[in-house]
Amino acid sequence: MTAISGTAIGKRAAAASSRTMLLAAFFVVEVAALGIFVPGWLTVDGLLDTSRIFIESGLLALGMTFVIITGGIDLSVASLLALVSVVIGFSHQAGLPLPVAMVLGIGTGVGCGLLNGAIVAYLGLHPLVVTLATMALFRGGAYVISNAAAYSEYPAWFTTIGGFYIGEVLPAQLPVFAVLCVLAWMILEKTPFGRRVYGLGENEQAVRFSGINVAHLKLKVYGLMGLLAALASIIETSRISTSRANMALGLELPVIAAVVLGGTKVTGGSGTIAGTLLGLLILSYLQDGLQFAGISSDWGLFITGALLVLGVLVNENAGRNRG
């Protein structure tokens, strides 16, 4: 893409590398501090077990990284996770074989993601407004389908998806998540699609004038977000062995916070998978350490909000300095 110069790409890569090293150092200090001030928290088993909890948030954060890099946002991801879970559970209750119900759930996730993308791309509405509306639409749909009831009659093989351990220590979802992180990194950093995603956030008009179909690009990004939300829903539904409409309430906040704390600018054009992963680890282990210490979960919400504000300030100041 000629609109994005090699110099700009080089500056972006250098800034991302510096930010990643800073976040990594912060994470190490955080874990060490929690280990010192919260006795009994810092154990290998404990760290691995916590990773089982943040896999769903991590999958959403991967998709959200792509969305925010384009200059968009998706507030509907938690509601979509609940909707997919309800679709799977109650279609299975109605007699659909569970593997088919899971495919239907994945289709629902992708379809809803494409709906978000289509409204943003073809109607020209701001993603914040669109996904705020679909957040209510998807959550309301989950309540309508489930009639505010829960479904928990899942077979044993399904519950192992979110609860299986390798060697009784390593959550099986963690290696899968690691592979998906690598794939997301390769797509974003090593493919023409990834370069176009960055370009869309940096200068949408330039991307359009270079002959790229911007609408199709947005559809792909939001469709990917829907796919990852569906996968996260399957894992969480399996982990808690329940489908209900109030699942994942408020999960969009820590997901967005992790992405922004990881260095992705809310105005688009910059961000990395490595940064998002570190932002996710920082938030997840900080909240886990506070809970382990018996500190109210309200403080976790307060700290998440504070780190979100801090991430925005740092990203915007870094952008001005590079300019």
What structural domains and CATH numbers belong to the chain?
7-31+44-322 (1.10.3470)
Across 221-238, average pLDDT: 97
Output 321 or 235, whichever has higher pLDDT.
Answer: 235
Give this prediction's pTM. 0.92
Residue 174 is encoded by which pair of tokens?
């963690």
Q: What is the mean pLDDT of the chain?
A: 91
The pLDDT value given to residue 24: 93
- CA-CA distance, 61 to 273, in Å (whole number)? 9
Residue 284 is encoded by which pair of tokens?
């997840």
The pLDDT value given to residue 49: 84
Asked if residue 205 has pLDDT above 90, the reply is yes
How many CA within 13 A on the CB side of residue 211?
2
The sign of the torsion formed by the CA atoms of 17, 21, 26, 28 equals positive
- Binned at pLDDT 50, 70 and 90, residue 12 comes out as low
Asked if residue 226 has pLDDT above 50, the reply is yes
Of 76-80, 156-160, 197-201, 311-315, the poorest mean pLDDT is in 311-315
- Backbone Cα Rg of the chain: 20
The pLDDT value given to residue 176: 92
- CA-CA distance, 253 to 220, in Å (whole number)? 23
Across 29-55, average pLDDT: 89
- Show Cβ contacts of residue 93 under 8 Å, excluding neighbours closer than 6 positions: 151, 153
- Binned at pLDDT 50, 70 and 90, residue 2 comes out as very low
The pLDDT value given to residue 248: 95
Strand partners, 151: 243
- Binned at pLDDT 50, 70 and 90, residue 1 comes out as very low
Across 238-258, average pLDDT: 95
Asked if residue 6 has pLDDT above 90, the reply is no
Inter-residue contact 237 to 88 (CB < 8 Å): yes
- CA-CA distance, 144 to 136, in Å (whole number)? 12
Asked if residue 323 has pLDDT above 60, the reply is no
- In terms of Cα–Cα distance, which of 215, 234, 233, 213 is closest to 223? 215
- State CA 145 to chain mean position distance: 25
- In terms of Cα–Cα distance, which of 273, 269, 282 is closest to 311? 282
Inter-residue contact 235 to 177 (CB < 8 Å): no
Q: Kind of pairing, strands 165-166 and 170-171? A: antiparallel
DSSP per-residue codes, 214-254:
HHHHHHHHHHHHHHHHHHHHHHHHHHHT-B-TTTTTTTHHH
Write down the H helix ranges in the chain.
6-37, 44-69, 77-93, 98-123, 127-146, 156-163, 173-190, 192-202, 204-209, 214-240, 252-261, 273-292, 297-322
Asked if residue 310 has pLDDT above 90, the reply is no
Name the percent of the chain lying above pLDDT 90.
Answer: 74
- Show Cβ contacts of residue 311 under 8 Å, excluding neighbours closer than 6 positions: 257, 260, 261, 262, 263, 279
- State CA 222 to chain mean position distance: 12
Across 250-258, average pLDDT: 93
The pLDDT value given to residue 3: 45
- CA-CA distance, 122 to 278, in Å (whole number)? 34
Inter-residue contact 241 to 154 (CB < 8 Å): yes
Across 72-91, average pLDDT: 98
Across 163-192, average pLDDT: 92
What type of residue is 255? V
Inter-residue contact 68 to 225 (CB < 8 Å): no
Across 312-319, average pLDDT: 70
